[in-house]
Amino acid sequence: MQRTLVLAKPDAVQRGLIGEIIGRFERKGLKVVGLRLLHVSRELAEEHYAVHVGKHFYGGLVEFITSGPVAAFALEGPDAIAVVRRMVGKTMPNEAEPGTIRGDLGVSGLRNLLHASDAPETADSELALWFGADALVHYAREIDAWIVAEEPTRT
């Protein structure tokens, strides 16, 4: 199983899309193992976006993510990072495919609704940053047997 971080940015929260977004991931079979609603401090925003320091859009990212509440959630499932990234769609909503979250719900540029971890190492560090060491929940769902099938034994 793989875990990943998704942030519903202030535009998603202000537009009342948290439930829609989480629902899409849950209907896909991903499990919510962490959930927070918070006002992001400048320090947290700067640490989260540290890889973009010096880029022309860095200041805008920090300003936007701190402009209103953010819903942070940790998702778990097989190939969760790739699955989430495909479901989220391209960064620019006007370039995102219909059927993706950004393609269906996004409007423009920085107001692209979501952040999603892009690699296992990134997911690990982002989950630690946003949730801490022991904040994620471990639990089993009856439905998991229908989502994660064991490979048949070949003889």
Reported as a single tens digit per residue, the pLDDT across 92-107 is 888 999 999 999 999 8
Nearest to 22 by CA among 144, 134, 13: 13
Structural domain harbouring 27: 2-138
pLDDT digits (tens, 9 = 90+) for 30-41: 999 999 999 999
More confident residue, 149 or 53: 53
**Per the structure block, which two tokens stand in for 30?**
């991903």
Would residue 115 show up in a list of annotated catalytic residues for this protein? yes
CA distance 29 to 148: 9
- Whether 151 maps to a domain, the answer reads no
Residue 16, domain CATH: 3.30.70.141
- Whether 150 maps to a domain, the answer reads no
Q: State the pTM of this model.
A: 0.91
Burial, 42: exposed, middle or buried (Cβ in 10 Å; 0-12, 13-18, 19+)? exposed
Strand partners, 75: 4, 32
Catalytic residue among 48, 52, 115, 138: 115
- Whether 149 maps to a domain, the answer reads no
